[in-house]
Structure 1
Amino acid sequence: MTLYFTLNTPHQWAIVNAKGIESSGVVDTLSELPAAGHRCVAVVPGEQVVTRVEVMPVKNRAKLMAAIPYAIEDSLISSVDDLHFLLLHTGDENRVTFAYVSRQLMTSWLEQIHEAGIKLEAMLPDYFLLPGAKPGSAVITLTDDKRVLVRSGLYQGAVTDLENLPAWLSEQEKETTLLVDDRLAAKLPDEIDQRLIKTEIGGGLSNWLSQQAPDHGAGLLNGKFAQGSKRSLLKQYWPAVAVIVLAGFIKLGSDVGELLWLQKTNTQLEQSIQSLYQELFPGSKLLPGRVRVQTKNKIDRLQNLSAGNDFTYLLVTTARLLKNQQVVVEELDYRQGRLLTVLTLDNFAHLDRIRQRLQSNPSIKVSLKQSGARGNKVQARFEISRAAT
């Protein structure tokens, strides 16, 4: 028998045998789950797991896994080194379906599960539990916590909300058949290009598992996270430990005078970056790591750049549009003429207002790439570039 449980609290759980659901319930902590004697599968929030399809003329699986991160690197805000990738499907015309999720988040999830004494067999994003999926279809339901889950075909999924669902539908192919939960169908626009079939899907774990057992082949536990083993976690941690130890030896061996000078210079640079960044984006967080270094290099040249420079123009234009809008800029990056930013907002209505505000400026092209709930806030990823002239 298999125990499925959600990582979001409260934790829904269901024990499934060959005949269907044997028992189910809800608990407040992972340690309360009836895990003993069962194979265990964790169900994670789909907002955190991105699925994509790209054309890649590579047949060898190992080479394909190595190529995927760098094929999409320019479209990502996070470094590919911070992401965990998994290959889901290879189809006709070199179409490759894959998913990625934050390594840090995977580690955090596995630590929580391990601390609860649970031995994990698989980990799935929640949208892959939606029943009735098949090629050329999209299964859509409204969860009990008012999230809209979408499973496109067998190997793609997404999470949105009621306000943004019409926009998502407008981007789907007309040939797609929509299998929509009864409760959600009445909330859809009157005119939809796709064929719509109303069905009973339900909004929780037990509803989905009672109709169909999911395929664990789309699970997240592969590579360094295979089976969530202690050995896998150790492999993850030892490079970081080695860097810390090496940094310690370097620090001890450095000249004291040079070290003090470097520390003073670094502090001055940090203050300079923070001052300008906070002026452009009041109340936002300072950019971390690689992005901060890149931003520093850009900011250092701002005074010498011409008025036609895309980075300067996009940064200043976006800052003016977001000023006094109660928006927190979490991440910021600039690549090949595109400004990539992650924003935290109060709710989805706030997100809609900000999107409209950005898109109202005719001099820039704004695309909402991803959005989802983060606790009691909403986080969204935008791509901003100069409008075609």
Structure 2
Amino acid sequence: MLIVLLPEQPLLDGDAAQALSWWRLERDGSVLATGRDTLAKLRQRFPAERLRALAPASAVNLFRVRLPAQRAAAARAALPYALEDLVSQELEELHIVMGPRRSDGQVSAAVVSHTPMRPWLDCFRAAGWRLEALLPQAALHADAGPDQALLVMPSPWPQTDSQVLVLSAQEEPVLLDPGLAGIWINRRLAALDPAAQTLTLAGLSASDLGLDLPDTVEVQQIAERDHLASALVQAQRSTPAFNLLSGPYAVSMAAPPWRKMRPALIAAGVALALGLGWLAGEHMILSQERDALRAEIGRLFDRSLPNSRREDPVMQFRQVLQGGAQISFNSGMGPLLHAFFVVLKEHDNAQVQQVRGTLESVEVELKVASFSELEAIRAALSAQPGISENLEGADSENEGVTARIKVQRSGA
């Protein structure tokens, strides 16, 4: 996933080529790469990556307000009126997003003017990006706040102007200019109970912030920690606390339809490949069987009609069987088969089980309904000119009679 930090200055129509700080994250939150590039170059380098953007803290104000414990829809409807006295603009000019309920029972909220929202989204659209989420930069530090009072440290973000990150137990995180941080901190400390007026500094001193603190404020110094890594992990959560792409700017955080269908498309491709492979195998097997059958037909033609020229064996067999010509002594087994099937045509119940033949004779195993029908077939064969028949054997069964009849030429 790519995380892009929008600049402090509002993006105008000609700022689409402005270089932005970015981080490429692994699924566990580890940073794979980082740098500064334009959105167009990022699109060329990482065309398949998902993209989320961070709205700068100077453009988004974070608040905590108390709302009655009620359904989320009702709380969302009441939120603008709870913020009306805290913002300087008309509510119609602001985009308000409700966040989670904090541990102190208050509901967090993000407020941003409509003015920068469209230029931000237009820049991503012009570069060919589908923006998945737009997150308030400062809100990513909410989970790092102290248990009480204030924690102040240098901003971990790579921005042009130096900033100070202020974390509070009762307020949402803020990123401030060092010149304004002293005023903000003094006001927050003054609002606390004197027993709870504790200020924790990490990598900073009171003089760095221009603080003139009363004796009631306890100042603690701790080592500076890297809060950027934990903030980036928060930025790639599947359900972020704030997503400014809601209301009139709402987009689905789900994967694009083609990406959701990718497993099905892969499975369909595999099934298609297997199907084509199976068809190719079947085609090869059938081709081999066709060639073998043609070869067998050729050999049968040569044995049955040795004095005939082979051109179209199937058609030549049909002509011989349908011709009714006088049987010649040297004309192969074709006329013998023709004579036999001419007789068999008159007996619908007779079934041929097996045929074996040579150039001189044909032995047919057939099944008939009774001995009387068998004798009728034999009599009809004997009446055929130029051939003779001989009963090789007959067996009586429950369903009829099985017999083997040998048909040969009279002179054989």
What TM-score do the two structures reach when normalised by structure 1? 0.50
Computing the radius of gyration from Cα coordinates, the structure with the larger value is: 2
- Higher relative contact order, chain-length normalized (CA < 8 Å, sep 6+): 1
